[in-house]
Amino acid sequence: MWQNLLQEIMNGKEKSLARCISLIENEYEGYFDFLQQLPNSSTPVIGITGPPGAGKSTLVDAIIEALVNDNKKVGIICVDPSSPFNLGAILGDRIRMSNWYNHPNVFIRSLATRGSLGGLHPKIIEITDVMKTAPFDFIIVETVGVGQSEIEIAGLADLTAVVLVPEAGDEIQTMKAGLMEIADMFIVNKADRPDADIFVRNLRMMLAPAFHNHQQEIKIIKTIATKKEGIEEFVKAMHEIQSTKYEATESNQHQTQNTKRSWLLTEKAYHIIQQNRMKNINKNLLKEEIEVASTNKDFNLYSFVKKYI
Q: What is the CATH number of the domain that holds 140?
A: 3.40.50.300
Q: Does some domain include residue 252? A: yes
Residues 189, 145 share a domain: yes
Q: What is the 3-state secondary structure (H, E, C) of 43-77?
A: CCEEEEECCCCCCHHHHHHHHHHHHHHCCCCEEEE
Residues 132, 23 share a domain: no
What pLDDT shows up at residue 204?
85
Helix locations, 161-228, DSSP H = 169-182, 196-207
What pLDDT shows up at residue 172?
63
Residues 197, 120 share a domain: yes
Q: Does some domain include residue 10? A: yes
Q: Does some domain include residue 263? A: no
**What range defines the domain where residue 26 resides?**
1-37
Residues 215, 85 share a domain: yes
Per-residue pLDDT reduced to its tens digit, 119-150: 467 788 889 999 999 999 999 998 866 554 45
Alpha carbon distance 307, 224 (integer Å): 53
Residues 87, 103 share a domain: yes
Burial label for 293, CB within 10 Å (0-12, 13-18, 19+), is: middle
Question: What is the pLDDT of the chain when averaged over all its residues?
Answer: 80
What pLDDT shows up at residue 307?
85
Q: Does some domain include residue 289? A: no
**Cβ–Cβ contacts within 10 Å for residue 21, how many?**
20
pLDDT over 90 (residue 173): no
Residues 142, 3 share a domain: no
Per-residue confidence band for 74, with pLDDT thresholds at 50, 70 and 90: very high
Per-residue pLDDT reduced to its tens digit, 251-261: 444 455 556 66
> How does 158-172 read in b/e, with b if 16+ C-beta sit within 10 Å?
bbbbbbbbbebeebb
Per-residue pLDDT reduced to its tens digit, 188-207: 999 999 889 998 988 888 77
- For 20, 55, 177, the CA distances from 171, given in Å and listed in that order, are 38, 15, 11
Which one of 232, 257, 282 terminates a domain? Answer: 257
Q: Does some domain include residue 213? A: yes
Per-residue confidence band for 88, with pLDDT thresholds at 50, 70 and 90: very low
Q: Does some domain include residue 47? A: yes
Residues 93, 23 share a domain: no
Number of domains present in the structure of the chain: 2
What pLDDT shows up at residue 252?
45
Alpha carbon distance 115, 55 (integer Å): 23
Phi, psi of 121 (to 5 degrees): -70, 140
Residues 234, 118 share a domain: yes
Residues 44, 30 share a domain: no
Residues 119, 18 share a domain: no
> In this structure, are residues 240 and 77 in contact, taking their beta carbons and an 8 Å threshold?
no
HSE, CB side, 13 Å, CA atoms: give it for residue 43.
Answer: 23
> In this structure, are residues 159 and 49 in contact, taking their beta carbons and an 8 Å threshold?
no
Residues 81, 26 share a domain: no
Per-residue pLDDT reduced to its tens digit, 6-53: 999 999 999 999 999 999 988 899 998 999 999 888 889 999 988 778
**Stated length of the chain:** 309
In the chain, the percentage of residues whose pLDDT exceeds 70 is 73
Q: Does some domain include residue 207? A: yes
In the chain, the percentage of residues whose pLDDT exceeds 90 is 36
Alpha carbon distance 294, 290 (integer Å): 6
Per-residue confidence band for 91, with pLDDT thresholds at 50, 70 and 90: very low
HSE, CB side, 13 Å, CA atoms: give it for residue 8.
Answer: 13
Question: What is the arithmetic mean of pLDDT over 200-222?
Answer: 75
- By C-alpha distance, which of 84, 68, 79, 74 is closest to 113? 79
Residues 24, 47 share a domain: no
